Amino acid sequence: MSDDRDEQPRDIPHPEARPDQLDPTTLERPTTAGQITPGPGLTPARAVENVSTDLPAPMPTAPDRGIVRTIHYNLSYIVHNAGAGPRGAIVLLHDLPGGAYVWAPLLDRLAGTGRAVYAFDLLGYGDSDHPWPSDTSIWGHADGLEYALAALRLTDIVLVGFGLGGAVAQVLASRLYYDRIARLVLINSYGYLHAYAPDWPLPEMTKRQDPEAPKHTKTDQALADLRKTVPLGSANNKLPAAALDAYVQMWNSEIGKELIFQHVRLMLPSYTNSVSSYLRTLEFPTLLIWGEADTVTPLDPLGRRMAREIPDNRLEVVPNAGHLILDDAPDAVARFVADFAGAPATAAGGGGFVVAR
């Protein structure tokens, strides 16, 4: 694994809430591990557990924030419709340079399936811990998420990974959590030897992987580079001001700059290839969603190669959408994922939910 894991991590303060997130009070970070913080006017969320088959599925409630302990750190997550129980939950993993907030436009549609929905901030992002240095490679993320998902007792999950989160999902699906996944969704995912794009989300990405690079880049320059290149991930090469601010401002500190360089440095082709090579062994249904205009993780060859190699898959190509497909076409993505996940089916003679195959 990376040498970054061998150094002693430092405790990093969490960034202030971003204005484009859901209600800031709803998404406020809890103070106790495992606690769920309700939004304004809401009662505290119920414990995450299976619901009785004698009762109808509960109506979705507003999203809340929770935290869960992993190996060494805390991960923050948004949970929507927690009362539906942990079995059959939809689990969402974001891309670099985003966070759990990028899934906000999809949450109501996904919770409408009757499933609980968990959107995680990966380690070093959003409201999760920001240790630096630390292992934030796809393997490091998956190691921590294995503990987090198990602690939350999430089984028969519909695992959804976008971009970098798609590569993390491949680790979980092929190695670490495959026996508790019912369905997999990969959205504009990195894979094989394509671990990063040459000039996104920062220009000259190969140079940025030099461990000395942060020392030669001022924070203001890194932010300016992000502002210039991140919009190129959209099919229109532009983003609304609030969306661009959300992608950029989380790195607006000396530590933030170090973290994004750490994330970039650990986007390693040998790591992605080590798991993508096993996609042909997957034994559960897989949905591939790709932006037709994605130049970061191109449909050709990435998406179409996955479609050839994954045994039981369906490829949906979204027109007029680039790599930032959650900005370009959130409704289309929400519809595809919700339809693929489907409503949880009640097990005959048993408790909880099972996933319809």
The string of pLDDT tens digits covering residues 30-44 is 333 344 433 332 223
Q: What's the pLDDT at 344?
A: 85
pLDDT at 12 over 90: no
Q: What's the pLDDT at 10?
A: 39
Percent of the chain clearing pLDDT 70 (strictly above): 79
Percent of the chain clearing pLDDT 90 (strictly above): 77
pLDDT at 348 over 80: no
Q: What's the pLDDT at 39?
A: 35
List of residues 6+ apart from 233 with CB closer than 8 A: 200, 201, 295, 296, 322, 323, 324
Handedness of CA 299, 302, 306, 309 (dihedral sign): positive
Please state which of the ranges 9-23, 113-127, 212-226 shows the lowest mean pLDDT: 9-23
Q: Tokens 């996609």 appear where?
A: 279
pLDDT at 24 over 50: no
pLDDT at 328 over 70: yes
Q: What's the pLDDT at 59?
A: 54
Domains of the chain and CATH, by start: 3-354 (3.40.50.1820)
Query: Mean pLDDT of all residues in the chain?
Result: 84
Neighbours of 212 (CB within 10 A): 8
List of residues 6+ apart from 279 with CB closer than 8 A: 170, 174, 191, 306, 309, 310
CA torsion 252→257→262→264, rounded to 10°?
80
Q: pTM for the full model?
A: 0.82
